[in-house]
Structure 1
Amino acid sequence: MFTTRARLLFGGILAATLVLSTSTQAGAHDRQPIGRYVVPGDQAYPEGIVREPGTPYFYVSGLTDGTIWRGRIDQPHLQVFLPGGQHGRTTAVGMKITRDRLVVAGGTTGKVFVYSTRTGQLLHVFDSGARDGLVNDVAIAPNGDAYITDSFRPVLYRITAAQLANRQIDQPLETVVNFDGTPVEYEKGVNEEGINSNGLVVTPDGRFVLMADTNSQAFYRISTKTGAVDAVDLGGVTDIGADGLLLRDGELYSITSLFHPEGEISVLRLSEDYSRAQVQRRINGRGMDFPSTAAFDGDDLLVVNFQYQRTEPNLPFTVVRVSL
């Protein structure tokens, strides 16, 4: 049995423990996402972004030298995760994460690099063998396959889940669809770089890749089974010019600065067979500045302010949170 003094002593310890526990929990809940994140460097030109599920982390890629930065949603400054030039990664564009693997499109290197998000270890280099392309963006299918666009060469690449799972580092980056003879036409367009196929997503049922073509301001539906390509009917809308592309709950999110330097997010409702898309609303401004793409973070988007079209960018380079 407790004596009176023991009861008082135990009660004091218990009360102190409860206060400390409550304080610790409150501190944890106070670590809220913030609205603006700084990417270091006056030549960073951040292009791609991906949010890592189940963690506070997101990753941003640098076009000019291939640096990969990592940020936390509750901290304002990003840190270098993978130095530029490492493993021949002299440029980095779109990125996705699958099973703790960071899949990085290597731009004009013609390669895709894969790293462990836990250790930063190089896991794979997939090489197309071409040095006249722009390996631009990545999408992960439900079965774990990765699809990759090339903005200068009329092809769609695929890396299978089996290739990502094996231990061989150097592997070929193989074409799964050649766009010659399809509705997709590669050409120099309204932007100086002649960016054709760009952002892409894979539908939740795994049946189609939906791909944006920046030059033609069009979207295409590509069968993952047959490679058949069809233009998505946009109901006559021709001013989207998508760069980054996201898909959630039947809505396609297009991020661009092509017609809107202040940034524009177009939200399009897709038909059940993904053959049609109707613009529901557009979001402009809100801290965007020549953005390239975005990543979902809950009900918000983390938008990369690329600014590559600017001769003198507004410093510092940033990622901004845009509420949907």
Structure 2
Amino acid sequence: MRKPRPRHLLSTALAVTLALSAFGSTTPVSQAHGGRVVDRYVVPGDKAYPEGIVREPGTPYFYVGGTSDGTIWRGRVDQQSLQVFLPGGRDGRTTAVGMKITKGRLVVAGGATGKVFVYSTRAAALLHVFDSGSRTGLVNDVAIAPNGDAYVTDSLQPVLYRISAAQLDDTTVNQPLRVAVNFSGTPVEYEDGINGNGLVVTPDGRYVLMADTNSQAFYRISTSTGAVTPVDLGGVTDIGADGLLLRDGELYSITSLFHPEGEISVLELTDDYSRARVKRRINGRGMDVPSTATFDGCDDLLVVNFQYQIENPHLPFTVVRVTL
């Protein structure tokens, strides 16, 4: 999610969340749902501006969050239309940005609320509200580590938050959202606009990989020490990542910053995650100012078309299937 930009820049710049737990079912959609494949899903409402998306493993469901009022919709991969799962405004959730699922819990970044909301995917019941206490930041994306910890970016405040697995397992509803890493004095420099954005945790749990949309950079952050190292992209400066996914040593970056028609950059990472090279880029294919994506099986991404700050968005708002 991003702060408003001048209208004349919208044709060239817009962006704004994901982790290993969001890969979704590894069974191909065509096998899991009787051969029915839906390529385009409809998000209801002409003011939806959907930003975050996550696939729930072992089920046919995926979830999409809206930035205009915090509505969360649930869709089935074999049906075209999404339905309201959590109405906007409930529990003080006035916006919903990045989201992940862990142990049947939907973890939702609450944007300018400064909060992270956690719900049961089975009962749609509120489990937790983690509050940073800040109302000047933008809690943007969530990633789940192998040990169950959740990491959360703030795009306006130079910090990385962490919610421990123990906090998520605790029955206490209201808890603090604590800073894990303060970026002051590190290579990460926050400027006006969207900074720390999409993030993933490496399979060994040693690092968080974070996208910085403003600087078109990626950073490797140690989960044990907080040490920050820029990822060497070999001179590439035109990625401008929003949502991120990581699988089999490849980083998938979703953006509309330089390509309103949407771009997915597939980057091959070194074993220590310190360097990356762009293997290929995917453009178009139904994307329309996208923000992020989630895996659906081995070969497909479900990409959410955000269209944020577009005065007259192309309706209806959609999620599209992009085959890799």
TM norm. shorter chain > 0.5: yes
1:3 aligns with none
RMSD: 1.2
Query: Is 2:84 aligned against 1:80?
Result: yes
Give the superposition deviation at 1:268: 0.1
Query: Is 2:95 aligned against 1:59?
Result: no
1:246-297 deviation line (CA, Å, top 9, x unaligned): 0000000000000000000000000000000000000000000000000000
2:318 aligns with 318
SS of the counterpart of 1:225?
A: coil
Query: Is 2:309 aligned against 1:305?
Result: no
Query: Is 2:45 aligned against 1:30?
Result: no
1:244 aligns with 243
2:6 aligns with none
Contact 1:100 1:118 in 2 (8 A): yes
Distance in 1 separating the partners of 2:32 and 2:257: 40
Distance in 1 separating the partners of 2:114 and 2:181: 16
Distance in 2 separating the partners of 1:249 and 1:27: 22
SS of the counterpart of 2:148?
A: coil
1:184-235 deviation line (CA, Å, top 9, x unaligned): 00002xxxxx000000000000000000000000000000000000000000
Q: Comparing both structures, which one devotes a greater share of its residues to helix? A: 1
Larger radius of gyration: 1
2:195 aligns with 196
Contact 1:290 1:309 in 2 (8 A): no
Distance in 2 separating the partners of 1:243 and 1:27: 31
The letter for the 2-side match of 1:70 is R
2:4 aligns with none
Distance in 2 separating the partners of 1:28 and 1:142: 26
Provide the identity percentage: 81
Distance in 1 separating the partners of 2:289 and 2:132: 30
Q: How many residues align?
A: 294
Residues 300 and 172 of structure 1, relative CA distance in 2, 3 Å threshold: same
Give the superposition deviation at 1:310: 1.2
1:271 aligns with 270
Distance in 1 separating the partners of 2:147 and 2:138: 25
Give the superposition deviation at 1:126: 0.1
Alignment of 1:63-142 (within 5 A): 63-142=67-146
SS of the counterpart of 1:303?
A: strand
Distance in 2 separating the partners of 1:268 and 1:74: 30
The letter for the 2-side match of 1:102 is L
Residues 29 and 310 of structure 1, relative CA distance in 2, 3 Å threshold: closer
Give the superposition deviation at 1:311: 1.2
Give the superposition deviation at 1:110: 0.1
2:160 aligns with 156
**Divergent runs of 4+, >4 A:** 26-29
| Bigger relative contact order, structure 1 or 2 (CA pairs below 8 A, ≥6 apart) | 2
Question: Any gaps of 5 or more consecutive residues in structure 1?
Answer: 1-25, 189-193
